[in-house]
Amino acid sequence: MVLAILGISTIVAMPSLVKSIRGNRLRVGARTIVMAGNYARTMAILRNQEMTLTLDKGANTVAVAPLHAVPPPLPSDRGFQDSPPPTDPTLSAGASEPVSSAPPPVTLTRQLDSVRIEAIQVEHRKSGISDESAVVIYQSNGRCNPYEVRVRDEFGSVMVITVDAVASPKVRKEGE
C-alpha cells in the first residue's frame, strides 16, 4: 500500500518537477545576462572607465571587458625624488621586483548553457556591427545605450531582458 502511494505521488509530482527544471535553465540564462550588465556598470563606475558588455549570438557568450586598456601611471613631475619601488615580501631576501600599481584587467566571459541568445537590439548602434553580436558600452557614470536581449531554451520558451539608459534591467517571460 505504501509503495502504491509513493508511486502515485511520484507520477503526479514528476511533470511539475520537470517543468520547474526547464524554467530554471531559462531563468539562469536571463539572470546571467542581467548580472553581466550589472557587473559592467559597477566596474565602469568604480574604475571610472568605460566597460563593454559583448553579447555574441554565434558563440552564445556574454563578456565584460574594459573599453580601453588602463594607461600606465604618469611619472611625478613635482621635482621630488621617487621612492624605491615596493617589494614583494614573499620574495627571497635581497631580490626585489617592482609591484605594478595598475589594477589587474577586469574581464568576464560566460557561456550560456541550455539557452541561446535569439535576438539583440541596441539603440543607437553604430553601423558595421554584425547581427551575430552586439557591444553595449557602459559609461563611467553608469549609463548605457538601451538594449533588449531575447533568450530561448530548447523547449521554445522565451525570456526578454530590457535594459534602459540608466542600466535598470527588466526581465519578462514572453507571453506574460
Output the tens digit of pLDDT for each of the chain's 176 residues: 899 898 888 888 877 777 667 678 889 999 999 999 999 999 999 999 999 999 999 899 999 999 886 554 555 555 445 555 555 554 445 555 555 555 666 788 999 988 999 999 998 765 445 568 899 999 999 999 999 999 998 888 999 999 999 999 999 998 65
Q: Which three cell numbers stand for residue 170?
A: 527588466
Q: What is the pLDDT of residue 80?
A: 47
The full set of domains in the chain, from first to last, is: 22-67+102-176 (3.55.40.10)
- Predicted TM-score (pTM) of the model is 0.70
Q: What is the pLDDT of residue 128?
A: 44
Secondary structure (H, E, C), the chain: CHHHHHHHHHHHHHHHHHHHHHHHHHHHHHHHHHHHHHHHHHHHHHHCCCEEEEEECCCCEEEEEECCCCCCCCCCCCCCCCCCCCCCCCCCCCCCCCCCCCCCCCCEEEECCCEEEEEEEECCCCCCCCCCEEEEEECCCCCECCEEEEEEECCCCEEEEEECCCCCEEEEECCC
Q: How far is CA 36 from the centre of its chain?
A: 2
